[in-house]
Amino acid sequence: MEIDLIALSEPECGERDVELVNAVLNSGQWSDGPLLASFEQAFAGWVGRRHAIAVGSGTLGTWITLRALGIGPGDEVVCASHTWHQVAQAITLAGATPVFADINYWSGCLSPDKAALKLGPKTRAILAGNTNGHPAAWHELRQLATAHGVHLIEDSTEALGSRYRGQQVGTFGDVSVFDFSQPSALCTGEGGMLVTDDDTLAHELRYLRQRRLSDRSSVSVGSRVPLQAGMSEITAALGLAQLSGLDERLLARKRVETWYHQQMQSFEGVKPPYLGEDVDEVHWMLYVVHLGKRFTRSARTQMIDDLLSCGIESAAYSHPLHQQFFYMNQGEAIGHKRGVLADTDRIGDRALALPLHSRLDADQVKYIVTTLKDTATNVGAGAAIYL
């Protein structure tokens, strides 16, 4: 008998989404139209930044950001290996070297103290993310970046709506990056956004994003080669519709989190969700549990298979970059050996992502947690589960 799958993530599509996308399809202008400008303006206002520049993906946006900041071959960027790797890999695409620093074990975010140990004469920027929704220690990271005269880039892909020291994520970097692919709470299939308060930098980001028809008459065309990395009018229409319902969707996801927290009390030794100092609110991207010390990476894989056989999609939360083949022979600066990034290895092996989206109901969450408990008992001999 075929089992209905409880998906890891499931975008929410309403009448507004269909209406705006159809309007673009019927308009005859599928690129660089008025809805793109509207989406950028609305998103900048929602985050609280002066400028928003829509891009084809978070990876492309970060690549453009590094180019706009003059970062390329011979330069180093300190970042976490435990991250939304598509964003961090833009460092490689730009020709610069990613230098992996370890994370704070509790938040999963880049540790300012450990990042400081990796800064050197070639460091041009720090790239930090709000891991699975939990804000990084932005006050300390900003102090570190300022003290060493390097740029601070914020990856907020996983943390729409989270707040730190009274500010929404996306307001802490010189440039902040968002990616709108699944499982983002604002999902456009593909696409992303760069936000900044710097007028000059915003102008350069727009130029490097794509060559527009208006640029053909410019005497400076060809002085710097832009990417073809813009967002289509169709994607912008979907993004604008998604943004209009985002606050309501985030509230619905909060209800799902509450159901998870209630059901998780059935596990012995479960710790409450971590909320770091100065963090006001966390909006999780997925519901991530950390398996106890008895679990191995292969045990987690077995749990993922068991859950899938019961109709529940789950996933290893992260495959740390320093453990991926491409980076394993890229030089000592990257630090690929296990044990060098002890907390990253520890979390990378045992973090398990469970479904989190607004379409889940209380009964489904109860079923997910009950099934997780059964497979954890079978695979891990009753070992602890931590949120």
Closest of 319, 285, 270, 348 to residue 9, by C-alpha: 285
In this structure, are residues 278 and 165 in contact, taking their beta carbons and an 8 Å threshold? yes
CA 24 to chain centre: 28
Torsion (CA) 299, 301, 304, 309 in degrees, nearest 10 = -90
Structure tokens at 106: 């509790």
Q: What is the pLDDT of residue 1?
A: 46
**Residue 60 main-chain phi, psi, to 5 deg:** -65, -40
SS3 324: coil
In this structure, are residues 162 and 168 in contact, taking their beta carbons and an 8 Å threshold? yes
Could you state, in order of their start, the residue ranges of all structural domains in the chain?
15-244, 246-386
Structure tokens at 35: 């809805």
In this structure, are residues 199 and 25 in contact, taking their beta carbons and an 8 Å threshold? no
Structure tokens at 39: 């989406």
CA 46 to chain centre: 18
Q: Which residue type sits at 131?
A: T
Closest of 29, 47, 35, 8 to residue 193, by C-alpha: 47
Structure tokens at 127: 């790239």
Q: What is the pLDDT of residue 225?
A: 80
Closest of 139, 235, 224 to residue 181, by C-alpha: 235
Q: Tens of pLDDT along 216-257?
A: 566 665 667 888 899 999 999 999 999 999 999 999 999 999
In this structure, are residues 53 and 60 in contact, taking their beta carbons and an 8 Å threshold? no
- pTM confidence score: 0.93
Q: Does domain 15-244 bear CATH number 3.40.640.10?
A: yes
In this structure, are residues 356 and 122 in contact, taking their beta carbons and an 8 Å threshold? no
Q: Given the structure tokens 């394993």, which residue do they identify?
A: 328
Buried b (16+ CB within 10 A) or exposed e, 299-322: bbebbbebbeebebbbbbbbebbb
CA dist., res. 153 & res. 353, Å (int): 26
Q: What is the pLDDT of residue 378?
A: 85
Bridge partners (DSSP) listed for residue 101: 80
Q: What is the pLDDT of residue 222?
A: 60
CA dist., res. 43 & res. 348, Å (int): 32
Task: Give the strand pairing for 151-155 and 175-179.
Answer: parallel
Q: Which residue type sits at 79?
A: C
Q: Which fold has domain 246-386?
A: Aspartate Aminotransferase, domain 1 (3.90.1150)
Residues of the chain with pLDDT under 70: 1-3, 211-223, 269-272, 330-339, 380-387
Q: Tens of pLDDT along 170-218?
A: 999 999 999 999 999 999 999 999 999 999 999 999 999 986 655 656 6
Q: What is the pLDDT of residue 377?
A: 85
CA dist., res. 221 & res. 216, Å (int): 7
CA dist., res. 182 & res. 184, Å (int): 5
Closest of 243, 211, 209 to residue 40, by C-alpha: 243
Q: Give the neighbor-by-neighbor strand order of the sheet with 167-168.
A: 167-168, 163-164, 279-281
